[in-house]
Every structure is written in structure tokens, then in C-alpha cells.
Amino acid sequence: MMRLRRRGWHGGLLVALALGLAGPVWALPYTLVAPVVIDGSNNGGSGVLGTLLPVTDASGTSICLGGSCTDPTSQDWLLVQFVLGPGSADVDQIGIGAVGSNALGSGHFDDPDETPTGGSVASGVAQIDYDHLNLGSALNLEAGETSDRLFAAFASGDLPGPGLPCCAIPPGTASFSISSGANFSVQGAIVAVPEPAVLLLVGPGLLLGLGAAARQRPGKPS
């Protein structure tokens, strides 16, 4: 009898996994594997000095600037933050794209940093504007300033994966275009944001499945 009950529990776990892995539950926030330094070797003579930073926290209030962007439970997001170093030229626009995928929307988080003024999607790239085409404006990202957390939204499953939270997710390549009089672009490998990724990955389907499995688990013998 105990053997049959164990099978029931194992079967319930399989049901949990089946329910969890079925359906659109692969939406994930992604970010850079490592910081990308912007300096004289890759800035196209623009005078931009700074660093594109990985984002390790996808929580908080998000604001859509252009296109179709909702939340990371229904769309993949690619997040980044940009900090300009001392003596850097202004940045009036940042584009976020992913090789082989078209962005659906652009946006930012409601952070107490330099906030963009607008955005759009052009040719599959999420465009995030400060005071675009007005480089003398105080609304632009300026030397010593840090951007809000910025993101591009993609259809669920468009970015690398799916992968289980226990395992490495294959890295993809992100491209960032930066406008500061002389436009240039840089690239970096991306992975899932580590902290919230597990919950967003398994989604409500797996939680429902685990609930069903738990109901099949035998109680303590009387």
C-alpha cells in the first residue's frame, strides 16, 4: 500500500511539472552577464564614458514608454542601467535590441535616477529617449548621472531559453545603440535575472501543479 501511495506522490509531482511547464510560463527578465564599459575604444568618437550595468532586481513600478510592454510575467524583458562617468558627453537616446528578436516595447522603472522622457520601437529596437536631438538639455543623461532601470519588452520565449532555474540558460547577445552626436553601438551577452527569475519562470502553472500533487500526498498513518 505504501508503495502505491509513493507512486501516487511521484505521479502528482509529474502532474505538477506537466502543468508548470505547459502554457506560456517562460516569460523572464534578462540582463547583461557582466558590465559593458564604454570608453574611447568603442564609443565611435562620441566622447561617451561610462558603463552599462546588469540589473539584478526586476521588482518595482515599471512605466511603458512606447510599443506594447506589460510585465515580465507575460513578456520577456531585457533590462539594463547606464551610468556615465566624469567628463562624459551627454546621452540623448539609448536603443536596446536582441539579436534575432524584435522588441515590442520600451520602458523604464520608477527609480530616483535620470528618467527618460519618451520612447518608441523602431526596426525591432526599443528606443528610450531623453531630450533626443537636443544635446545641450539638462533632461539628457549627463556626466556622473545614472539612468533608471531601462528595459525592452519581447514576446515570451523570444530571448534565450527556456531553461530550468537549476540550470544554465544559454546566453544570447544584446545590442545597445547610444546617441550622443556621434552614434555608436556595443554588444553584450545576456542571461536571466537571477533573483526573480525562478518565480517568473515556473509561473502559476507549476504552483497549481504542486498544489495538485500535495493533495495526492498521503497523510500520516493513524
Q: Which residues in the chain belong to E strands, given as ranges?
A: 29-32, 36-38, 50-53, 62-67, 75-84, 93-98, 105-109, 118-122, 125-129, 150-155, 172-179, 184-192
DSSP for residue 109? E
Residue 20: what pLDDT? 41
For residue 152, the cross-strand partners are 78, 106
Q: What is the mean pLDDT of the chain?
A: 79
Q: Residue 102 has which C-alpha cell? A: 524584435
What's the residue count for the chain?
222
Label residue 174 by pLDDT band (50, 70, 90): very high
Residue 63: what pLDDT? 96
Distance, in Å, from the CA atom of 75 to the CA atom of 181, rounded to the nearest integer, reads 33
Burial class (CB in 10 A: 0-12, 13-18, 19+), 142: middle
Distance, in Å, from the CA atom of 88 to the CA atom of 98, rounded to the nearest integer, reads 26
User: Which pTM does this prediction carry?
Assistant: 0.76
Residue 202: what pLDDT? 42
Q: Which one, of 154, 50, 147, lies nearest residue 93 by Cα?
A: 147
Residue 167 has pLDDT above 90, yes or no: no
Distance, in Å, from the CA atom of 204 to the CA atom of 24, rounded to the nearest integer, reads 10
Residue 52 has pLDDT above 90, yes or no: yes
Express as a percent the part of the chain with pLDDT over 90.
Answer: 58
Contact 103, 161 (CB under 8 A): no
pLDDT in tens, 74-127: 999 999 999 999 999 999 999 999 988 999 999 999 999 999 999 999 999 999
Average pLDDT over residues 188-196: 79
Label residue 2 by pLDDT band (50, 70, 90): very low
pLDDT in tens, 145-163: 999 999 999 998 888 755 4
Residue 144: what pLDDT? 97
